[in-house]
Structure 1
Amino acid sequence: MRVLTLNGTTGSCDIVLGDSIENLKSHCENQRIVVVTDENVRRVHGDKLDGMEMIEIGLGEENKNLVTVEKIYKKLLDLEIDKSTMMIGVGGGIVCDVTGFAASTYVRGLQFGFVPTTLLAQVDASIGGKNGVNLEGYKNLVGLIRQPRFCLCDFEMLKTLPPVELRCGMAEVIKHAAIGDEALFSYLEANVEKVLSLHRTSIEKIVHDSIVVKLTIVKKDELEKGERMKLNFGHTIGHAIEKTTQKKHGEAVAIGMVASANLSVARGMLQKKDAERLENLIKQFGLPTTIPAKDSLMEAIRKDKKKSGQKIKMALLEGIGKAKITEIELEAVVNDLC
């Protein structure tokens, strides 16, 4: 078991790697616990949460919204929850995002923690303090930054994931390697089969190294004034794809990374061989790489929260392991891609 710590302006978070969900209560200092989860997680892992008060939310991105948050508020009211209570999100990225947002805004802030059950949530969604929901289907337009007290990453829970969810999580691992750790990128290239088979040493390494990349960036810019935007590599276009297609988040981000690498090449920032290297790695992990028609993307990109006037700030690549924030004309984003 290893512990990484993020000391931020909005709180301090211990990221506990390799502990078991069965030890959850030991991280809560004997506080009253309310667990937020979904139907799938409750069915598979509910026995490990016996005796805890539980709120179940709906499945899927369509439930990551203010309607779900209001339902949680009403349940907390019924349970007579006060500031002595700790909320715990047990689930994937949607559960973590909704739990963090609801906890941060109910009675002006409850303490909260996460037990991320998917690879995507362990390496990204539960880490860094971003908590938010979608508005009219547009990603994360309503939210705030506030650190959980802890994130407990139980690697054994990854064994219950459908293959598609494991692959989606790998999109965020590849992203972190692409923007900040060339050695991790090379390790992924050499160990695809080990990672996909959930070889314990390989999983421990890629989760740890991926989180280290994210923490290094967040510690410099917790409130996303500049440096933290590098973590959005693949997400500006990815969110537009997610909005306009039926792709899962990880699949959309995978396509978004290929598109952003191509944009980096078009702007003379990245060598074509490095863009090809990234695309090949994404394909090796069974993720899509084909960019949809540009007409379907433009409206969604215009709703992106990083837009300012007719320009948008995007994370592009200067090399494998090296990202740069670049301001681009909105029209050029799509025109240079397609």
Structure 2
Amino acid sequence: MNERILTAPTGSCRILTDARLEDLKALAQGRRVVVVTDANVFAAQGHRLAGFDVIQVGLGESNKTLATVEGLYEAFLERELDRSSLIIGVGGGIVCDITGFAASTYMRGLRFGLVPTTLLAQVDAAIGGKNGVNFHRYKNMVGVIRQPSFVLVDPTTLATLPIREIRCGLAEVVKSAAIADRELFEWLELEGERVEALEPEALARAAAGAVAVKARIVQEDEEETGVRMLLNLGHTLGHALEQTLAPGSVTHGEAVAMGMVAAARLSVRKLGLPAEDAERIQRLLERLGLPTGVGAEQTRTALQSIRQDKKRRGTQIHWILLESIGKGRVSPLELADTEDLLLGEGE
């Protein structure tokens, strides 16, 4: 088991990589523990949670709501949890977000830990202290920033995932490399298929690189007032695509991949990113089995959603663009200018 400490204003988080679910009992340190998970994870990993009190939440993005959080409050109340209790979320990004938000707000904050069971959650969603739920059709509109006590990464939980889910996580690994780790990006160009095939050594290298990037950035800017915004590369358009395309037609990672390619093309025109670097980003994502193209009609629809994005400031939207591979920049762009540029790419 390897350990990294992420220290931020809202708490200190132990990030335990190459760990096992069975290590949870030692991390509980004798506290009253409640595990939050979903039916899919419980079916695959429930036998490894024997002895824990388990609460299951519904599956999918449609359950990432305040109503689900209210249901958890009711369950916590029934179990008479108190400030000494520990809540552990075991699952993908949705379970981790819901668990962190419920624990952070119940009785003004209970201790919680996370066991991400998807690659996306292991390299991104569970790291950094963002906890929240969707409101109406807007992603993560209601939430808090508060660090978990620990994040336990067990790579064996990935073995049961479909390849589409692995690719979803790889999109976030590419994102981390593109904004802050050129060496990781170049390694992915050479070895990405080994990661996709879940070769243990390659998977560990990819995950460790992405976690290191995110932990370093979060420690510097937990509240996302500056450098942490770089972690949103691909997410401005990506979130809009998730909200506007047919439900289930695109995963988060697929949407982020398409958003990254759009951001790279904007970077060529606005920051002088070499066109070859934009092409390298697109080629890498395509080699990893991720979509990269967005049609003009999809773009027009997504732009309406972008107008409601949390990163909007008046007539501007904060895009994350690239000066080069491994060096991102927060770039405020006028909405009208962004629309012209994106639609020009999509026609």
Same fold, TM exceeding 0.5?
Answer: yes
Report deviation, 1:268.
Answer: 3.6
After superposition, what is the alpha-carbon deviation per residue over 1:243-295, rounded to whole angstroms, capped at 9, x for unaligned? Answer: 01131111100100001111111214311110000000000110000114222
* 1:113 equivalent in structure 2: 113
CA positional deviation for 1:172: 0.3
1:210-246 superposed Cα distances (whole Å, 9 cap, x missing partner): 1111111111101111110000000011000000113
Q: 2:311 aligns with which of 306, 312, 317?
A: 306
Secondary structure class of the residue paired with 1:300: helix
Q: Secondary structure at the match of 1:297?
A: helix
SS at match of 1:81: coil
Deviation per residue, 1:11-32 (Å, 9 max, x gap): 0000000111011111121111
Is it true that 1:321 corresponds to 2:326 in the alignment? Answer: yes
2:230 alignment counterpart = 230
Q: Which residue of 2 aligns with 1:92?
A: 92
- Separation in structure 1 between the aligned mates of residue 250 and residue 338 of structure 2, nearest angstrom: 20
Structure-1 residue corresponding to 2:338? 333
* Displacement after TM superposition at 1:310 (Å): 1.1
Deviation at 1:331, TM superposition (A): 2.0
Contact 1:62 1:137 in 2 (8 A): no
Q: Which amino acid aligns with 2:116?
A: P
1:49-128 matched pairs, under 5 angstroms: 49-128=49-128
1:158-237 matches, within 5 Å, as: 158-237=158-237
Question: Residue 242 of structure 2 corresponds to which residue in structure 1?
Answer: 242
What's the CA shift for 1:189?
Answer: 0.7
How does the TM-score come out when normalised to structure 1? 0.98
- Report whether the alignment pairs 1:281 with 2:284: yes
What corresponds to 2:145 in structure 1? 145
SS in 1 for 2:121: helix
Task: Give the Cα separation in 1 of the matches to 2:154 and 2:165.
Answer: 16
User: Retained in 2: the 8 A contact 1:312–1:327?
Assistant: yes
Query: What's the RMSD between the two structures over aligned residues?
Result: 0.9
Q: In structure 2, what is the equivalent of residue 263 of structure 1?
A: 266
Amino acid at match of 1:188: L
Does the 8 Å CA contact 1:33/1:88 hold for their aligned counterparts? yes
The amino acid that maps onto 1:239 is: H
1:29-48 matched pairs, under 5 angstroms: 29-48=29-48
Task: State whether residues 271 and 322 of structure 2, in contact with CA within 8 Å, keep that contact through their aligned partners in structure 1.
Answer: no
Aligned mates of 1:269, 1:208 — CA distance in 2: 30
User: Equivalents in 1 of 2:143, 2:304: separation in Å?
Assistant: 21
Which amino acid is the alignment partner of residue 324 of structure 1? R
Report Cα offsets for 1:152-206 as digits up to 9, x if no partner.
0001111111110000000000000000001100111101221111111111111
SS at match of 1:337: helix
Cα distance in 1 for residues equivalent to 2:6 and 2:155: 20
Distance in structure 1 (CA, Å) of the matches to 2:264 and 2:162: 28
1:79-116 CA distances to partner (integer Å, 9 max, x unpaired)? Answer: 11111110000000000000000000000000000000
Report how many aligned residue pairs link the two structures: 338
Structure 1 unaligned regions, length at least 5? none
Distance 1:308 1:190 in 2: 39
Q: Tell me how far 1:55 sits from its aligned partner.
A: 1.2
SS for the counterpart of 1:4 is: strand
Letter in 2 for 1:229: M
Which is worse superposed, 269-278 or 291-300?
291-300
Q: Distance in 2 between matches of 1:261 and 1:161?
A: 29
SS at match of 1:96: helix
AA aligned to 1:291 is: V
Q: Structure 1 counterpart of 2:278, which letter?
A: A
